[in-house]
Amino acid sequence: MPTKHFMALATAGFAAAVLLSGCGKDAPKVLTYQADIKPILDQHCVECHKEGGSGTEKSGLLMDTYAATMRGTRFGPVVIPGQSINSTLYRLVSNKADPSLRMPHDKAPLPDETISKIKDWIDQGAKEQ
């Protein structure tokens, strides 16, 4: 049956095209704390979230190292690897929480591009390096 044969070939061709397009593109860059996130936190957060800073004093959240950032506040983690939407750190910078809690406190919100970097980093597993 020529029609059937043609369909089989077309299906195989389509499958190959899907496979090729999947492999041909560069894999998305995996973001890491050391390369991508630490510079953001150092610039926008550490002034208050350091030893003796107002943010650390009030919440217990220290953000000067990966370990401290992952430890979170005295109530628990603010970064849940793989789940930006459940991560307080992302919710506060993206304004998905009580506006009075928006971070950085009393300052302009982070640029959208920086916010999406934080989101992607958490969703990719919040890797250190």
Binding site for ligand HEC (CB under 6 A): 44-45, 47-49, 54-55, 58-59, 61, 73, 78, 88-89, 92-93, 101, 103-107, 110
Q: Judged by CB, which is closer to ligand HEC: 13, or 111?
A: 111
User: Residues of 76-101 as b/e, b for ≥16 C-beta within 10 angstroms?
Assistant: ebbbbeeebeebbbbbbbbeeeeeee
Determine how many CB atoms are found less than 10 A away from the CB of residue 63.
26
Q: Which residue has the tokens 């597993």?
A: 125
Please, what is the minimum distance in Å from the beta carbon of residue 30 to ligand HEC?
21
Please, what is the minimum distance in Å from the beta carbon of residue 128 to ligand HEC?
17
Q: Judged by CB, which is closer to ligand HEC: 6, or 121?
A: 121
Q: Judged by CB, which is closer to ligand HEC: 39, or 125?
A: 39
Identify residue 74 by its one-letter amino acid code.
Answer: R
Please, what is the minimum distance in Å from the beta carbon of residue 74 to ligand HEC?
9
Q: Judged by CB, which is closer to ligand HEC: 14, or 75?
A: 75
